[in-house]
Amino acid sequence: MTTAPIPTSSNTDLERIRTNHEREIHGWAKAMGTSPERLKQAVQAVGITPRKVRAYLRHMG
């Protein structure tokens, strides 16, 4: 069984974290189990790639 893609996002949107969109910040933060503020700090530290941000957040505890 496959899951349906998010209708408002393209695959390109799912490959980056855009910090200038508050709705996206909150969505990514929830998905990664962190606060929007910590997510923004992680993006500043490692860039907009979700894989790198997840790794950074795990490393920082």
Per residue in 13-40, pLDDT (tens digit) is: 578 999 898 999 999 999 999 999 999 9
Number of domains in the chain: 1
Q: Using CA atoms, how far apart are residues 26 and 37, in angstroms rounded to an integer?
A: 9
Name the pTM for this structure. Answer: 0.75
Is residue 54 domain-resident? yes
Instruction: Answer yes or no: is pLDDT of 4 > 50.
Output: no
Is residue 50 domain-resident? yes
Is residue 4 domain-resident? no
Burial 28-60 (b: 16+ CB within 10 A, else e): bbeebebebebbbbbbeebeeebeebbebbeee
Range of the domain at 52: 19-60
Is residue 36 domain-resident? yes
pLDDT given for residue 8 in this prediction? 47
Is residue 40 domain-resident? yes
